[in-house]
Amino acid sequence: MASWEVLLAFALATLTFAAFPGPAILYTAAQTLVRGRRAGFMAVLGIHLGCYVHVFAAVFGLSAMLKHVPEAYAALKIAGALYLIWLGIGMIRAKLVNGALPDIERKSARRAFIDSIIVELTNPKVAIFFIAFLPQFVDPAASLPVWAQFLILGVIVNCAFSLADIVTVLLASRIASGMKQSARAQAAFRWTGGTILAGLGLRLALERN
């Protein structure tokens, strides 16, 4: 592995990225507000597992294709953006049935898990992040193979990001539980969560590569 100085820089950079309120934190907050704490945790798990695909892609050099083939990057980005917008609209349009909670909460945890995996897999910026960030802390001269260093560092980054997402779920669920669970409050949560997801989708679609 790299020297202790390099690893310390890696740790500080990872913690900084994890604590910064980026798209994943906003996404898990939206899922928690609309679907509840359990669904929020399942969203975190879905993002965590989906992120490993990007880690392994970086390990085996597959992510480089997105960097050097603009068409593949653009196609994946648009697909991910459209899916986020579709999820946001779905949250906003959810109806109340006989004064009960929205229909989306009935299978919310499983749905949040599946949605989160898809969202993570269709976000090419995650793949680009790993191939841009991890090589800075890999030592080709070390006794540990380069691919193993990529894998270890990628797992550490993923776990740090997931820890920040878990804290977000706990905070968002506390905010939600502190508010009266009325139809008006649920509508506010749906509009807030849906707007966040749709906004993330628009940002991904319009953001320059």
User: What pLDDT digit, counting tens, does each position of 44-92 carry?
Assistant: 999 999 999 999 988 887 656 666 777 777 887 888 788 888 888 887 8
What is the reported pTM?
Answer: 0.78
> What distance lies between CA 21 and its chain's CA centroid?
11
Q: What is the largest CA-CA distance in the chain?
A: 66
**pLDDT score for 99:** 42
- Beta pairing partners, 96: 102
pLDDT band for 21, please (50, 70, 90 cuts): confident
Average pLDDT, the chain: 81
CA–CA gap between residue 27 and residue 19 (Å, rounded): 14
Q: Give the tens place of pLDDT for each residue, 150-186.
A: 899 999 999 999 999 999 999 998 887 766 556 677 6
Contact 66, 121 (CB under 8 A): no
Contact 90, 104 (CB under 8 A): yes
Record the tokens describing residue 180, joined without a space: 């009266």
**pLDDT score for 103:** 44
**pLDDT score for 178:** 65
